[in-house]
Amino acid sequence: MKDPRLAKIATNLVSYSLDVQPGENILIWVFDDGEPLAAELMKQIYAKGAYPHLRMQRQSLHREWLTGLSEAQVKQQIQWEQPFLYGMQGFVTIHGELNDSELSNVPKEKFSIYAKGYQEVFQHMDNRKKGVRINYPTASLAQKANMSTEAFTDFYFDVCSLDYQKLHEAVMPLHKLMDQTDHVRIIGPGTDLSFSIKGIGTTIAVGKRNVPDGEVYTSPVRDSVNGVISYNTPSNYEGTSFDDIRFTFEKGRIVEATANHREKLNKVLDTDEGARFIGEFAIGINPYILHPMNDILFDEKIAGSFHFTPGSAYEKADNGNRSSIHWDLICIQRQEYGGGEIWFDDVLIRKDGLFVHEDLLGLNPDQLKL
């Protein structure tokens, strides 16, 4: 039976995230589960006088397709799909994957063929189209969060129904401060990192591209990153769960990378030249997301966290780095995760996951939940 709370989420997606207008074409792309939300979205898009278009993708079938993929096949498929995708004014991707490891045995070279072939298309969709990505509450997600399915579903609706317009107003001081900042230093267990964000520009992410959401992001000047970073949050990439990731940087480039799957990690970073440079630096601020569940869409918004992303930069905060990957890797700096500090131009702005800068106190979880 459809959960009545889906209607509120669909309204937020259609009216706030996408601001759907009459006559627009909106793609709904469902991965595995999520049909009830897709149905509610179609209903509300039609009510706006717009046109929903549906695509369903089963990851188990996608695995079989990827396993035999060739460059010629990808090129042909893009010729068919590009006019359709570029004809959309907006899109919603619903992620209800039933098994995060479904693609784990796909050969790396097949992932590379797919990623490189679709790189231009996906970057066009990300940068030129209205679009929002949302998870769907599955038993798989609940298990990763160490919660019952019922408890996780309640958590999901709390997080996804956040008043993102109010959150937008609350993050403006951080946006302004980051825009004025040159030098950033991040300190923590196994981490001492320095870089510049001068002139890059800062973007607020509060429900227009992702739900759940809650971050402010920019990117480092490409060659300015020096030092070492140790991530303390597991991350699933191409079906493999990576942990204990540690990077050493020299003049912006990752010159050493270690993890529980060191060889696989370095294969990802060798995808192309841009994969060993950073394309995003972001500060997470969602007050309802406090602990990792090995799902990037949730984990990168954790209050008291930041992410430092190998791969391509977004056009809205562009340092010029281009890659077929964009991998948000997260470090939580709250005290129970080891603590840490973020400094802007030699001024401490956040300590142990809590903002200490006078202009940013309203971004701490106890204030945002009010």
> Would you kindly state where each structural domain of the chain is located, as residue ranges?
6-160, 164-368
Distance CA 17, CA 19 (A): 6
pLDDT at 161: 82
6: nearest Cα among 89, 129, 94, 100: 94
pLDDT at 285: 94
Going by C-beta distance under 8 Å and a sequence separation of 6 or more, which residues neighbour residue 344? 177, 178, 181, 183, 184
Instruction: Report CA-CA distances (Å) from 334 to 229, 290, 338.
Output: 16, 9, 7
pLDDT at 370: 53
pTM of the predicted protein model: 0.80
Decide if 281 contacts 293 (C-beta within 8 A): no
Per DSSP, the chain holds a count of helices (H) and strands (E) of 12, 20
Decide if 28 contacts 51 (C-beta within 8 A): no
Residues of the chain with pLDDT under 50: none
Instruction: Report CA-CA distances (Å) from 366 to 4, 174, 303, 337.
Output: 28, 17, 11, 18
pLDDT at 17: 93
Total Cβ atoms within 10 A of residue 350:
23
Class of domain 6-160: alpha beta
Distance CA 261, CA 272 (A): 19
b/e 44-58 (16+ beta carbons within 10 angstroms → b): bbeebebbbbeeeeb
pLDDT at 368: 82
